[in-house]
Amino acid sequence: MFRSPVARQAVKALNINTRPAAVTAASRPAVANTFFRGLSSTAPRANDEAEKAKKDPLLSATTKAPEGTIDAEGRFARVDESLQIEYPDDEHMPRSPVVQGRGGMHFKRTLAQFSLENKVTLVTGGARGLGLVMAQSIVASGSDLAIVDLNKAEAEEQAQKLVEQFRKENPGLEQMPNVTAHYADVADPTSVNEAISEVIAKHGKIDNLVTSAGFTENFDAISYPHDRLQKLWGVNVDGTYLFATGVAKHLMERKVPGSIVMIGSMSGAIVNVPQPQAPYNAAKAAVRQLAASFAVEWAGHDIRVNCISPGYMLTALTRKILDENPELRDKWISLIPVGKMGTPEDLMGPVTFLLSDAAKYITGADIRVDGGYTLT
């Protein structure tokens, strides 16, 4: 359950920790920038390890430097095991607003192949956060939409809002997109199959899939509760697998092309600091590799499968966590080359592109939308 005391605890943990996990140019230890060693110098002989470390700049700059003698190399890239952030209960979840003014009628020339007209797209986890905003870009690009979420009431509410927003942005347009809401627990095969059948019954078909249902939470690896570990992998990995295979089977039966976009994370490629999240990182690496494997397996069926790996994105939920953890926010931002977090809107273009014919020859790709985080 998400409790702000937990978040406060995290801040406290960060504050009391003597090993800052993120580095800014200003806070980088001078020794890293200024030490040099003459070509002819030899390491001084000393009996005392600490004294030896102090005198030898090379030795003192390694992680092997005795504890407490000098700042150890690598201290900024370490996980802080005391930091815990649990995924909130549904009732504590902040709501996501529908994006204003990003769709709509426009007369700017662009390629017709970016259009998703005459398609039906299913988005898992589409009631909130990144899934909701990507769903909105899909509707704005001409596709009908099925939002599938654990939280059906919110999915229904957002489906209505998406159509209202579309109507506002497209005055005079007679045909409104067909946007429906459906329940599924993506980790449960029966629930997934029922949802897919329900969507096909309502829309007649499914052409595209975006798997955005997923979550993260932070516990150190040793004390990660086993039931939560299974749930995390169940939603992030099984959920992606089950929906992708279910929709691919439907496309193969219809003998039509399709496009699948899986939402991974930069955490599938790097290890985030300072928050400990080994199972999430492993889950997102699995998502990326599933996308690549399915891309190869289904290439002969004209089904493209790609992955989008977002960096730190400001959703209603991350905004709430970071508002309560300003230290964590500052540390995250200090590690992003572009110097700011992403917004859900930053995924609107990439997801539309990958679903559309503009990406017809792209399959098995992983598009990182992370402000350059994974480059450094």
Ligand X SMILES: NC(=O)c1ccc[n+]([C@@H]2O[C@H](COP(=O)([O-])OP(=O)(O)OC[C@H]3O[C@@H](n4cnc5c(N)ncnc54)[C@H](O)[C@@H]3O)[C@@H](O)[C@H]2O)c1
- Active-site positions? 265, 280, 284
Binding characters for ligand X, 242-281, by CB under 6 A (x = yes): ---------------------x-x----------------
Both tokens of 41, joined, read 């110098």
CA distance 189 to 341: 35
- Kindly identify the residues of this chain, within the stretch 298-327, that bind ligand X according to CB under 6 A: 310, 312-313, 315, 317-318
Q: Report the residue from 135, 184, 291, 328 that binds ligand X according to the rule CB under 6 A.
A: 184
59 or 235: CB nearest ligand X: 235
Identity of the residue, 65 or 347, whose beta carbon is nearer to ligand X in the bound complex: 347
- Both structure tokens of 68: 């407490």
Instruction: Tell me the Cα Rg of the chain.
Output: 24
Helix 278-297 with 239-254: angle, nearest 10 deg: 10
Scanning 110-118, 162-170, 213-221, 353-361 for contacts with ligand X by CB under 6 A, the matching segment is: 213-221
Q: Residue 81 interacts with ligand X (CB under 6 A)?
A: no
CA 223, distance to chain mean position in Å, is 24
| Least distance to ligand X, CB of residue 52, Å | 44
Percent helix, strand and coil across the chain, each rounded to 5? 45, 10, 40
Nearer to ligand X, 53 or 192 (CB): 192
Residues 8-47 that bind ligand X (CB under 6 A): none
Q: CB of 192: closest distance to ligand X in angstroms?
A: 9
Q: Which of 6, 213, 232, 290 binds ligand X (CB under 6 A)?
A: 213
Told to check if 215 binds ligand X by CB under 6 A, we report yes
Residue of 16, 61, 11, 56 whose CA lies nearest to 38: 56
Dist. CA 130–CA 135, nearest whole Å: 8
Three-state DSSP class for residue 307: strand
- Cis ω before 274 (30° cut-off from 0): yes
Q: What are phi and psi of 205, to 5 degrees?
A: -170, 170
- Given the rule CB under 6 A, which of 184-192, 219-227, 326-334, 350-358 is the region that contacts ligand X? 184-192
| Choice from 103, 177, 214, 371 touching ligand X (CB under 6 A) | 214
Collapsing DSSP to helix, strand or coil, 225 comes out as coil
Using CB under 6 A as the binding rule, the residues of this chain from 340 to 359 that contact ligand X are none
Per-residue buried b or exposed e for 183-198, using 16+ beta carbons within 10 Å of the residue's own CB: bbbbbbeebbeebbeb
Interface characters, 136-155, with ligand X (x: CB under 6 A): -------------xxx----
Please identify, using beta-carbon distances, which residue of 239 and 258 lies nearer to ligand X: 239
Shortest Cβ distance from residue 332 to ligand X (Å)?
10
Q: Which of residues 97-136 bind ligand X (CB under 6 A)?
A: 124-125, 127-131
Q: Of 16-24, 48-56, 60-68, 178-186, which part binds ligand X (CB under 6 A)?
A: 178-186
In the complex, the smallest distance separating the C-beta of residue 129 from ligand X, rounded to whole angstroms, is 2
Q: Please report whether residue 216 would count as binding ligand X according to CB under 6 A.
A: yes
Q: How far apart are CA 127 and CA 146, in angstroms?
A: 10
Q: Which residue has the tokens 């290890």?
A: 271
CB of 245 to ligand X, least distance (A): 16
- Do β-strands 258-263 and 144-149 pair in parallel, antiparallel, or remain unpaired? unpaired
Name the amino acid, one letter, at 326.
P
Nearer of residues 37 and 92 to ligand X, judged by Cβ: 92
Instruction: Residue count of the chain, please give it.
Output: 376
Binding residues for ligand X, how many (CB under 6 A)?
A: 29
- Residues in a beta bridge with 48: none
104 torsion bin: left (phi>0), alpha (psi -120 to 50), beta (else): left
Query: Contact positions toward ligand X, by CB under 6 A?
Result: 124-125, 127-131, 149-151, 184-187, 212-216, 235, 239, 263, 265, 310, 312-313, 315, 317-318
